[in-house]
Amino acid sequence: MLVFAFATCYPFRPLPTLKVKGACTKTFRDDEIPVNTDLFATPFISPILLQIGPFSVTWYALAYLVGILGGWIVLTRVVTQRAKIEPLYPITRELLDDFLIYAVVAVVLGGRLGYVLFYAPHLLARPIEIINFWEGGIQGMSFHGGMAGVVIAALLFSRKRKIPPLCLADLLALVTPIGIGLVRCANFINGELWGRVTDVPWAVVFTRADLLARHPSPLYEAVLEGALLLAVQLVLVRKGAIGHRGRLTGTFFLGYGLARSVAEGFREPEHWIEAFAPATYGMVLSWPLVIVGAGLLIWSLRGGGRVGA
């Protein structure tokens, strides 16, 4: 209900249409307001970080790589320290090493399939394009799809290795904001997922969309879904949350669902759902996370998730 309140109480009224002065052949509406030409524009650097012959490394690839490796490094330290406090803690360094390949495959497959199902169902009629990462690159990914893929992978891995699924889920929930924040920064570098039209002083121009001044929404998401959520998780770890199954997972689901819903209020909607208007598709996909997260938190805080209990 809280998220639905966010969705329906946002000031979704159209803001003044803004335009950057200069040569442009694009036709704009009559209510445009000229603004200073000094507005920051993105993409401001090439989306390709390095290219050697036909092979290229994009900022997206780097964001995913650093996010996964950075998360793995953090988790190995957390698990090592936890083993000193609780020798019978079910997650070991070796298990994390084995799960790494599961996580990589789950993120890529889940993210891509989620993108196709949620945002580009027309690709189902052209299956070869679903795996065509060479056209459009890895940006054709969905966080909700990637998360679903990781959840399935974690359940299968936990069953195979006979470990408590929530213990593994809590560790993954701790470091997932690292990857989210980095990928949102890559979104901004590539000039996509642009925000709504605005006249705030820090507005930027997303030249892949038009020459209108817009909210730098990918940076909002990098802060809310990445940095802020990571800080909350780290504080909880210092307070012993790692010893309570479901607490970090519940906090992540709840925190991400709320943060994404807030950020969607500044982001140009990719899709609307008539039945939930003025909520966006991203908001609707995040509401189940809030419900599940709140449930897990309540269960954990009532003592239901004590490790070793």
**Percentage of the chain lying above the pLDDT 90 cut:** 46
Q: Give the DSSP H/E element, type plus range, for residue 204.
A: strand 204-206
The DSSP output letter for 192 is: -
Instruction: Report pLDDT digits (tens) over 260-282.
Output: 999 999 998 876 565 667 788 88
Instruction: Say if residue 278 is preceded by a cis peptide, omega within 30 of 0.
Output: yes
Is the residue at 106 inside a domain? yes
Is the residue at 146 inside a domain? yes
User: How many folded domains does the chain comprise?
Assistant: 1
DSSP per position, 47-103: SEEEEETTEEEEHHHHHHHHHHHHHHHHHHHHHHHHHHH-TT-S--HHHHHHHHHHH
User: For residue 30, what pLDDT is reported?
Assistant: 38
**Percentage of the chain lying above the pLDDT 70 cut:** 81
- Are the C-beta atoms of residues 66 and 182 closer than 8 Å to each other? yes
**Rounded Cα distance, 34 and 129, in Å:** 40
Token readout for 108 is 């890529």
Q: Per DSSP, what are the bridge partners of residue 291? A: none
240: left (phi over 0), alpha (psi -120 to 50) or beta: left
Instruction: Report pLDDT digits (tens) over 58-98.
Output: 888 889 889 999 999 999 999 998 888 787 788 988 999 99
Is the residue at 309 inside a domain? no
Please check the confidence at residue 117 and state whether its pLDDT lies above 60. Answer: yes
Is the residue at 296 inside a domain? no
What would the 3-class secondary structure string for 208-276 be? CCCCCEECCHHHHHHHHHHHHHHHHHHHHHHCCHHHECCHHHHHHHHHHHHHHHHHHCCECCCCECHHH
Token readout for 65 is 């790589």
User: For residue 18, what pLDDT is reported?
Assistant: 41
**Rounded Cα distance, 116 and 85, in Å:** 44
Encoded amino acid at 139, one letter? Q
- Are the C-beta atoms of residues 146 and 111 closer than 8 Å to each other? yes
**Rounded Cα distance, 214 and 201, in Å:** 10
Is the residue at 157 inside a domain? yes
User: For residue 273, what pLDDT is reported?
Assistant: 60
Determine the structural domain holding residue 65 and report its residue range: 15-252
**Rounded Cα distance, 146 and 191, in Å:** 22
Is the residue at 267 inside a domain? no
Angle, to 10 degrees, between the axis of helix 165-189 and the axis of helix 229-238? 150
Instruction: Report pLDDT digits (tens) over 131-142.
Output: 765 544 445 778
Is the residue at 69 inside a domain? yes
Dihedral angle of Cα 157, 158, 161, 162, to the nearest 10 degrees: -160
Is the residue at 265 inside a domain? no
